[in-house]
Amino acid sequence: MRQQSGNEYAAQYDSGYNAWLSYPKLQQGPLYKQYAKWCGAVSVTEGGETIQAALQEWTRGIASLLDLEAVSKPQLEDFGVAFGTFTGDHPLLQGLFEDETVQAVGVEGFAIRTSQSLKCIAVGASSQAGVLYGVFHLLRLIASGKDIENLDEIVNPVNSLRMINHWDNFDGSVERGYSGRSFLYENNQFTKDMDRITDYARLMSTAGINAIAINNVNVHALETLFISTYLPDVARIADIFRIYGIRLYLCVNFAGPMHEGEVGTADPLDAGVKEWWKSRAADIYAAIPDFGGFVVKADSENRPGPFTYGRNHADGANMLAEALEPYGGIVIWRCFVYNCKQDWRDRKTDRARAAYDHFKPLDGQFHDNVILQIKNGPMDFQVREPVSPLFGALERTNHVIEFQIAQEYTGQQRHVCYLVPQWKEIMEFDTQAKGGPAPVKRIVDGSLWGNRLSGIAAVSNVGNDRNWTGHLLAQANLYGFGRLAWNPELSAEEIAAEWIALTFGTDTAVAGVISRILLDSWEIYESYTSPLGVGWMINPEHHYGPNVDGYEYSMWGTYHYADHQGIGVDRTVATGTGYSAQYMGSNAVRYDSLEECPDELLLFFHHVPYTHVLHSGKTVIQHIYDTHFEGAERAEGLLDAWGGLKGSIAEGLYTQVEERLQGQAAHAKEWRDQINTYFYRKSGIADALGRTIY
């Protein structure tokens, strides 16, 4: 791996390129002395690529954190660190980890133990990837200022699939990309910058990611050739990913046999189609033996799929699964399926129902190597929507939850919006499956229904911007997703604290300000944009900026159905779309009831007068006014809080965030004014506090 010079490292730190691999130098003190005692020597006896990558990560991290060279020795003569696999030949590991511990460590897990008598901190694992994760864990403990004198842990990831979905296009553009262009492709060519690919793999691995789909689910003509003509280029990226414990996946076009002109149909039951995909699978695995599999978007938003041939989603997914099954590959089939051409003037038509209506009847019909990928909500990554009712409803089908790290509807990485609290809330939601309690986190980890395949996927937020994510603070979402996928029991506060320590250091005053900004940001963004569960009040197509009637798929003109009398979507059983009945137990009752529905989702489930009184005691219209005024004020407060850090963090890091927060504060006022004005004119009801609304 390429080594960095001191000047290069400093420049990359100041730009944010090193992200949470920055490892800012620790201050002198008792903990520093403790770390220096243990970290001056390191012993590794195995030579695999991933083990050697772990050794490089360790020496690089210790040099940055402690300004100390970790001398590599075959045997430790005094205090030091040793790591390797349990089946390796390191005597310290064999002596420190008894059979019971070895058996408790899963294929990607690790054990870490401090032995005062042997003067050794040992990291042992079943696999080389586990060793790498263990080394990253130990570096994280040191960077966060944790005691390492008495470590004795067994750590296994909760979710087996921890996946990033890139929406990069071969021309170099990124669909829903807010961090520059792709660093994977440009002008229909694969990148030659393998150093950046390596650094990206390092970042993903330390966050716990083990699977990456490298191209857009909306597969274009040339990208169809990734599984044939461009396969050697794909294999070069897979070779780098493999070192860091990551399996490469490809998004494929369901109509691939037709696009390459070899088969005149894409009918999943056609023998020629089946053979075409089997031939492609054989070619892929010859080039990439550990290829993960296919990600497929079909029969939605004009994408081809099995509906064209009178087949269902199980027919389509199973055909691909049969091609991959001999090699251990999987098909990840997205449940984002709805008719974007339907007539929204009919208020019985409801996009929210679509995923459940399509996939619930097919439960149990998918092959064992098919995973359904379900968006966290029934719509499309809004700042607030209910949990998809498919979670808990599919008892006999592998499935993963899909989040969106890219802030398509949450500020597009121009506004700070730390999404881990939102994801935590979703993961904790009790679906009441099997009579409950059945939180989403226990469904997606496979434990509730005993799924063989399960986990978490998310849409990437990275691009070729020097700091990866455009907004430096948006790195916290990327890091946070990986950590939450690894361990859903981590709190949003804990994850934020880790990211801050790894990126900015352990100064408590600095950490306190950044933590508060992150943890308040979701609530602030929601308050000046989307009231009470109403989403999509944004400009059509590019989805940035306020446009109350801007929802592009609504022929009726709005998503929120606001008129001069009231606002909201009636999704009740008696008078609405009946969507509330897709939930289980008391969830269905609560959402269907105007009296019981939680305020934050009221307008998602009910159409009410502007004078309807919320549980908070405010009317709907006053809530809209108050939250938008307060949200804009709090957005200004984020900028003020950040201003207090000037001189306390690197100038390059400070300046880039300051610029983004300045833009957010101004844009929040635009949101406030447009939304308040719209609803004032629509309702004719003045602000009870007498504030100016034009």
Q: Hey, what are 638's tokens?
A: 């984020």
Residue 28: which residues within 8 A CB-CB, separation 6 or more? none
Q: Which are the contacts of 259, defined by CB distance < 8 A and separation ≥ 6?
A: 221, 224, 253
Task: Please calculate the CA angle 324-325-326 and round it to the nearest 5 degrees.
Answer: 100
Give yes or no: 283 in active site: no
Taking a C-beta distance cutoff of 8 angstroms, is the pair 615, 599 a contact? yes
Residue whose C-alpha is closest to residue 410's, from 440, 389, 380, 386: 380
Please pick, among 301, 600, 633, 658, the residue that the annotation labels catalytic: 301
Report cis status (omega within 30 of 0) of the bond before 437: yes
Catalytic residue among 175, 322, 380, 673: 380
Quick one: which H or E segment has residue 414?
none
> Measuring CA to CA, how many Å separate 410 from each of 265, 413, 512, 627?
40, 8, 23, 16
Catalytic-role residue among 46, 199, 299, 408: 408
Closest-CA residue to 545 (of 563, 528, 561, 562): 528
Tokens standing for 565?
A: 């009398």
Q: Is 380 a catalytic residue?
A: yes
* 8 Å CB contact between 174 and 463: yes
Q: Which residue has the tokens 């020097």?
A: 466
- CA 634 vs CA 52, 398, 454, 524: distances in Å: 47, 42, 39, 7
| Residue 329: how many other CB atoms lie within 10 Å | 21
Kindly give, in sequence order, each residue whose CB lies less than 8 Å from that of residue 646, ignoring residues fewer than 6 positions away: 654, 658
Per the annotation, the verdict on 408 as an active-site residue is yes
From CA 496, how far away is CA 517, in angstroms rounded?
10
Catalytic residues: 301, 380, 408
